[in-house]
């Protein structure tokens, strides 16, 4: 189950990268328009990357049964 989630998140990140690349390559948009279009994509990508890191950590360090996952101990929020 966790492998499916990881795969879907990686695919979503790749799709966002393609979308950002198309915005950057669009010569009809001003820099301000590009910034406005890319900001929500960058925020979404940041959340997906953190989720991916969390899932990969949990896959490598599964919690014991009936125990909290402990992800808050692993994270170093930046």
Name the residue ranges covered by the structural domains of the chain.
2-74
pTM of this prediction?
Answer: 0.81
Which token pair is 68?
A: 């909290």
- The H or E element that residue 48 is part of is helix 31-60
Predicted confidence band of residue 77 (pLDDT cuts 50, 70, 90)? low
Own/partner pairs, 4-11, CB within 8 angstroms, 24+ separation = 5/55, 6/52, 6/55, 6/56, 6/59, 9/48, 9/51, 9/52, 9/55, 10/52
Task: Specify the pLDDT at position 65.
Answer: 78
**Do residues 29 and 23 lie in contact, with contact meaning Cβ atoms separated by under 8 Å?**
yes
What does residue 14 show for φ and ψ, rounded to 5 degrees?
A: -60, -40
pLDDT, one tens digit per residue, over 25-68 is 999 999 999 999 999 999 999 999 999 999 999 899 888 777 77
């Amino acid at each position: 189950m966790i492998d499916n989630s990881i795969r879907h998140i990686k695919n979503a990140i790749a799709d966002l990268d393609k979308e950002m690349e198309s915005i950057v390559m669009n010569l009809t948009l001003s820099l301000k328009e590009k910034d406005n279009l890319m900001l929500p994509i960058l925020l979404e990508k940041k959340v997906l990357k953190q989720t991916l890191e969390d899932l990969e950590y949990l896959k490598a360090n599964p919690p014991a049964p009936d125990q909290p996952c402990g992800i808050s101990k692993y994270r170093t929020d930046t």
